[in-house]
Amino acid sequence: MPPNNQTEWRPTGSSLKPLKAVIPFIRPYSGTLTVAIIVLLAASAATGSLPLAARYLIDNGLASGDSAQIDFYFKVVVVVILAISGLSAARLYLITWLGERVVADIREKVYAHVIRQDPTFFEITQTGEVLSRLTTDTTLVQSISGVGISIALRSSIMLIISVAGILYTSPSLTLMILVLVPAVVGPVIWISRKVRKLSRTAQDKVADSSGMASETLNAIQTVQAFTLEGLQSRRFGDAVEASFLAAVKRIRIRFVMSFGSMFLLFGAVTLVLYMGTREVLAGNMLPGELAQFVIFTVLLGSSGAMLSEMWGEVQRAAGAMERLIELLDATPTIHCPENPLPMLHPGEGRIHFDHVTFSYPSRPDTKAIDGFNLDIASGETVAFVGPSGGGKSTAFQLLMRFYDPESGSISIDGVDISAADPKDVRSLVGVVPQETMIFGTSALENIRYGRPDATDDEVKAAAIAAAADEFISKLPKGYDSFLGEKGTRLSGGQKQRIAIARAILKNPPILLLDEATSALDAESERLVQEALEKLMQDRTTIIIAHRLATVLKARRIIVLDEGSIQAIGSHAELVAQNPLYARLAELQFRSAEEDAQAMQTVAANA
Ligand SMILES: Nc1ncnc2c1ncn2[C@@H]1O[C@H](COP(=O)(O)OP(=O)(O)OP(=O)(O)O)[C@@H](O)[C@H]1O
Ligand SMILES: [Mg+2]
């Protein structure tokens, strides 16, 4: 897949086969489609009869000077025009509706499918790519699944009608048209290919510049902190100028094309008219027949142009559909087995790692977890400590069944989790991550992510238990306050307490705590520790510890390095016996003064 996600331009399909996949999405609306096609046929028939009406108007009405006849033919024309307008509007409505409906269904289905994928999928597929498929590609499909079908059908029908029409009116003039068409269409097609290529370059350049803008605006503080405003403006300016130059190139060619195609087209029409007029003068043709011929020719030209335009659309849509199918065909390696083992509810929180070995799919040669054996009793608190890359987060991921072990097994309450529904497993596990994700909604709703069916009172009770109630109440709109994109309106400690409130609300028997590395001030630290204390009560807790205070709370400390357990013991034991731990303790835990402070907190809470 192409690495550039910002490009609005999307590659075309190599074949039209992927378009077949649109059919199942259209099928539920086959009633609407049928009505639309009937309307379309009727509209085409009405349009096709217009030249005939014009001819009779001229030859029977004008030629005879019979005003009653003329009135009659004009009435017929008005009725036909009314029919064409009404039917065309109805067609437009039905067809556009169909396109919008189909693309909405595709979007919903793709999103629902993608959000259920396992982490491996997201390692391979960039989120930007998924997003552009959800937006740009579905829009491309929309254009063909509704309006496209309609234009293609209508143009094909009109093409057939108008060819039959000119043949019927004057075979000799038709022959002339057949000679003229390639002379006009050939150069136009050739130039428009060139234009398309140049448009693509221009669009790529625009994408480059907007990619640059979004990157720098997202990192605005870094840019300003390094006072790179001037440099970035210059770079952005260069990118914009490049896109302008690409656009100018395209405009120049369009200038030539516009001139050439107009001249050729009108020239050809004039030539046909001239020849036709001579036929009329020679008495081989009636004036009305000439008018009929010319109108048919115009219909022929416009439907031909429409069809050639559609061809490009169809190819683009095929490419888009191909990419959407790719997403829809992705199957998560972690899925619910056919007969999943039920987990215990409410769970006791007993955890057993049995000779677990695991490598990330993207790095099959390195064992992230290697021969991991560990029993954790119900309600116990253990701490994972180890150097960066030791496998602590990986153990968490395995416990939540984001990945399955390569060999060995993990069980919760005696049930092998790889034989259970991952949703069922995850319902037993609460996570307080290092970096709390805050969603762009209110404080109330943000906490409710812990358990979507919780009542407002339950959410507030959880907030109180997490020591989050105080700061939330002080927000401008209390619990209804919008927490801002990515929670930029909250401090680190406040975000952590939101995460803790979520976990309290979820009330799982197992708690996974990835302690934040960033230090909080003493007061926030105390509040967070208190909240955690409440949360950890009566739960099996595994903490990835970065603070001495936390380590001291754990009965057992597990020292993890290179994916395997190096030592197990209490802080005092490990400091004395395990050199790796002793060094980590010295480096990783905070300075002696802060430690003393932390110990006081522990003492105060004990
Ligand atoms: N998604 C991934 N794909 C491939 N390898 C990974 C992935 N995530 C982690 N790893 C690798 O697995 C090993 C264990 O990583 P893990 O994240 O479990 O370490 P950690 O103990 O949590 O480290 P830290 O303290 O820095 O968070 C590392 O070598 C890491 O590079
Ligand atoms: Mg980690």
The closest alpha carbon to 604, from 530, 521, 522, 548, belongs to 530
User: What is residue 369's predicted lDDT score, i.e. its pLDDT?
Assistant: 94
- Closest ligand to Cα 560: 1
Average pLDDT over residues 412-437: 91
CA 433/CA 158 separation, integer angstroms:
63
- For residue 598, CA distances in Å to 551, 581, 592, 604 come to 11, 19, 10, 10
- For residue 28, CA distances in Å to 24, 31, 33, 96, 195 come to 8, 8, 10, 16, 39
Q: Residue 485: which pLDDT band, with cuts at 50, 70 and 90?
A: low
CB count within 10 Å of CB 15 equals 10
Contact 130, 115 (CB under 8 A): no
Ligand 1 within 6 A of CB of 121: no
**Which of 74-78, 104-108, 572-576 is the least confident region?**
74-78
CA 355/CA 99 separation, integer angstroms:
54
What confidence tens digit (pLDDT) does each residue in 388-413 have? 889 999 999 999 999 999 999 999 99
Average pLDDT over residues 49-61: 81
Q: Ligand 1: distance of its center to the CA of 368 in Å? A: 7
2 pLDDT above the threshold of 50: no
- The single residue listed with the structure tokens 């909080």 is 520
Look at residue 334 and give its three-state secondary structure: coil
User: What is residue 320's predicted lDDT score, i.e. its pLDDT?
Assistant: 84
Q: What percent of the chain has pLDDT over 70?
A: 93
More confident residue, 503 or 152: 503
Closest approach atom of ligand 1 to CA 119: 1
User: What is residue 452's predicted lDDT score, i.e. its pLDDT?
Assistant: 92
- The single residue listed with the structure tokens 């680190």 is 492
Pocket test for ligand 1, best of 358, 369, 394, 518 (most atoms within 8 A of CB): 394
Structural domains in the chain, sorted by start? 17-170+285-329 (1.20.1560.10), 372-425+510-518+538-606 (3.40.50.300), 429-507 (3.40.50.300)
Pocket test for ligand 1, best of 121, 125, 360 (most atoms within 8 A of CB): 360
What confidence tens digit (pLDDT) does each residue in 302-360 have? 888 788 777 777 877 888 888 888 889 988 888 888 899 998 888 899 999 999 999 99
529 pLDDT above the threshold of 90: no
The residue type at 351: I
For ligand 1, atom 24, the nearest C-alpha belongs to 388
Ligand 1 within 6 A of CB of 386: yes
255 pLDDT above the threshold of 70: yes
Most confident range, picked from 64-73, 112-121, 151-160: 112-121
What are the structure tokens assigned to 423, written together? 């949703």
Q: What percent of the chain has pLDDT over 90?
A: 29
User: What is residue 174's predicted lDDT score, i.e. its pLDDT?
Assistant: 87
Q: Which residues contact 268 (CB under 8 A, 6 or more apart)?
A: 180, 183, 184
Ligand 1 within 6 A of CB of 51: no
Sign of the CA dihedral with 496 first, then 498, 503, and 504 last:
positive
606 pLDDT above the threshold of 80: no
User: What is residue 303's predicted lDDT score, i.e. its pLDDT?
Assistant: 84
What would the DSSP string read from start to end of 443-457?
A: HHHHHHTT-TT--HH
Single pTM value for the model: 0.75
CA 547/CA 568 separation, integer angstroms:
17
Q: How far is CA 377 from the centre of its chain?
A: 42
User: What is residue 447's predicted lDDT score, i.e. its pLDDT?
Assistant: 93
What are the structure tokens assigned to 379, written together? 């309600």
Q: Ligand 1: distance of its center to the CA of 391 in Å? A: 6
CB count within 10 Å of CB 206 equals 21
User: What is residue 492's predicted lDDT score, i.e. its pLDDT?
Assistant: 82
What is the residue-averaged pLDDT of the chain? 84
Strand 407-412 vs strand 369-376: parallel, antiparallel, or unpaired? unpaired
What confidence tens digit (pLDDT) does each residue in 213-222 have? 877 887 888 8
519: alpha, beta or left? (left if phi > 0; alpha if psi -120 to 50): beta
Ligand 1 within 6 A of CB of 502: no
For ligand 1, atom 31, the nearest C-alpha belongs to 389
Closest approach atom of ligand 1 to CA 386: 21
For ligand 1, atom 29, the nearest C-alpha belongs to 389
For ligand 1, atom 9, the nearest C-alpha belongs to 394
Ligand 1 within 6 A of CB of 221: no
User: What is residue 9's predicted lDDT score, i.e. its pLDDT?
Assistant: 58
User: What is residue 441's predicted lDDT score, i.e. its pLDDT?
Assistant: 87
Look at residue 358 and give its three-state secondary structure: strand
Look at residue 283 and give its three-state secondary structure: coil
Average pLDDT over residues 460-486: 87
**Cα angle 576-532-566, degrees, rounded to a multiple of 5:** 30
The closest alpha carbon to 205, from 5, 12, 7, belongs to 7
User: What is residue 76's predicted lDDT score, i.e. its pLDDT?
Assistant: 83
3-state helix, strand, coil in the chain (%, to 5): 65, 10, 25
Ligand 1 within 6 A of CB of 319: no
Q: Residue 494: which pLDDT band, with cuts at 50, 70 and 90?
A: confident
User: What is residue 4's predicted lDDT score, i.e. its pLDDT?
Assistant: 38
